[in-house]
Amino acid sequence: MEFMFVASTFLQFGCGVSKQLGDMLSASGVKRVMLICDKGVKAAGLVDRIAGNLKDTGIEYREYDKVLPNPPDYQVQEATELAREFKSDALVSIGGGSPMDTAKAVNILLSNPSTINAYDGLNTVKNPVGPHFAIPTTAGTGSEVTGVSVITDPKAKKKMVIFGANVAPSVALVDPELTMGLPPEITASTGMDALTHALEAYISTLASPVTDPLALESARTIMRGLRRAYRNGQDIEARSDMLLGSMLAGLCFSNTCLGLAHSMSHPMGAYCNVAHGVGNAIALPYVMEYNVPAISPEKLTRIGEALGLAVAGKTHEETGKAISAELSTLAGELRIPRIRDIGVPKDLIPTLARVALDELSTQTTPRKPTVEDVKTLFEAAW
Ligand SMILES: [Fe+2]
């Protein structure tokens, strides 16, 4: 047996922990900080609420609040130049995956040469990065604890995956109270992203005895919280479960990489701006069923149990079908649309399939697909 596991982020979890930001920055000797967020988080009042904790500490801050979904490379450049001009000595990202991934990319450029496009791939970042405090406001990406930053190159229509050492935030303040105001559709798409992370990490070819129990616990925790958080956003226990589950999944996939659902979601995002979690939720039931022959009976049973299914006495194939059906039912209950309803033209499928096959995540999916297989999966999901 051979495996590696890295978790390099100091983690503080619990209701109200984001209030410790000012004290923690002060204790680290930080004087000037750049806050990276998006317009939605800013409009929801979360940035002002968190920045309020910097008052009385003497820490100066500047905001970059323009981060777009599927964050593009030119925004990384723009925010890096602002951070250099402001002479910030730490970054704070507030939001979902897009602000956190943008801040990771900015942090790379603050201590490494060239543009972010030079770092697409595995273990490409040579110089250590400065302090980055990540504060998630959605329960999905787990980006607060991962050594992964996904940045879009709009010219090449490609999602770059910068993965490995010197990428992860130094500190994560994971505070369920910050997710209370999320609307149901964001709860659904980010929650399905987190569930996809847990399941793809569990069946990844890089799964290990360290990640397996974390991945199963993540899936169980997400299944306990997702429907509840979707129905009632003020349910703090469900919100807490979702943030815990997404963070656990982040610890896993940062080590195992992901699978074919992510490979299919990435080009849907790059070509048609489909939200990342929606793309995953659409692909996941089909990808899980496709993978069944390559998943061990024990692991398949554990997945069924984690999803709350009665799988005792079922054959391997029956368990696989039950898992796929449950994932479809869940997506339906969360009103995840079909691909054809969200602006993905059918004649684009061959291109999407070709791009998906070349994605980094395809390397760790348990059943090696052909381009025809991926086309068939897209057509089934269409
Ligand atoms: Fe994801």
197 CA to centre of ligand 1 in angstroms: 6
Contacts of 368 (CB under 8 A, 6+ apart): none
Handedness of CA 245, 247, 248, 249 (dihedral sign): positive
Q: How far apart are CA 369 and CA 281, in angstroms?
A: 19
97 CA to centre of ligand 1 in angstroms: 9
State residue 273's pLDDT score: 86
SS3 assignment, position 30: coil
Backbone angles phi and psi of 9, in degrees to 5: -100, 130
Q: How far apart are CA 243 and CA 179, in angstroms?
A: 8
State residue 93's pLDDT score: 98
pLDDT tens over the chain, length 382 residues: 899 999 999 999 999 999 999 999 999 999 999 999 999 999 999 999 999 988 889 999 999 999 998 899 999 999 999 999 999 999 999 999 999 999 999 999 999 999 999 999 989 999 999 999 999 999 999 999 999 999 999 999 888 999 999 999 999 999 999 999 899 999 999 999 999 999 999 999 999 999 999 999 999 999 999 999 999 999 999 999 999 999 999 999 999 999 999 999 999 988 898 989 999 999 999 999 999 999 999 999 999 999 999 999 999 999 999 999 999 999 999 999 999 998 899 999 999 999 999 998 999 999 999 999 999 999 999 9
350 CA to centre of ligand 1 in angstroms: 22
Contact 239, 137 (CB under 8 A): no
Contact 97, 134 (CB under 8 A): no
- Which residue bears the tokens 């010197």? 166
pTM of structure = 0.94
The amino acid at 347: D
365 CA to centre of ligand 1 in angstroms: 14
The C-alpha torsion from 182 through 188 and 189 to 193, rounded to 10°, is 110
Domains of the chain (ranges, CATH numbers): 10-179 (3.40.50.1970), 184-381 (1.20.1090.10)
Contact 265, 271 (CB under 8 A): no
90 CA to centre of ligand 1 in angstroms: 26
145 CA to centre of ligand 1 in angstroms: 13
Q: How far apart are CA 70 and CA 279, in angstroms?
A: 12
The amino acid at 344: V
Contact 28, 131 (CB under 8 A): yes
Among 68, 150, 48, residue whose Cα is nearest residue 361: 150
20 CA to centre of ligand 1 in angstroms: 28
Q: How far apart are CA 76 and CA 132, in angstroms?
A: 15
Q: Count the Cβ atoms, other than its own, within 10 Å of residue 293.
A: 11
164 CA to centre of ligand 1 in angstroms: 16
262 CA to centre of ligand 1 in angstroms: 6
- Which residue bears the tokens 């995002």? 269
326 CA to centre of ligand 1 in angstroms: 20
55 CA to centre of ligand 1 in angstroms: 34
Contact 323, 299 (CB under 8 A): no
Q: How far apart are CA 28 and CA 144, in angstroms?
A: 19
Cα separations (Å) of 258 from 148, 159, 253, 283?
11, 14, 6, 13
State residue 302's pLDDT score: 98
276 CA to centre of ligand 1 in angstroms: 6
State residue 367's pLDDT score: 98
Q: How far apart are CA 117 and CA 358, in angstroms?
A: 17
The amino acid at 109: L
200 CA to centre of ligand 1 in angstroms: 10
| Distance of alpha carbon 219 from the chain centroid | 14
101 CA to centre of ligand 1 in angstroms: 12
27 CA to centre of ligand 1 in angstroms: 33
245 CA to centre of ligand 1 in angstroms: 13
Helix (H) or strand (E) holding 333: helix 316-333
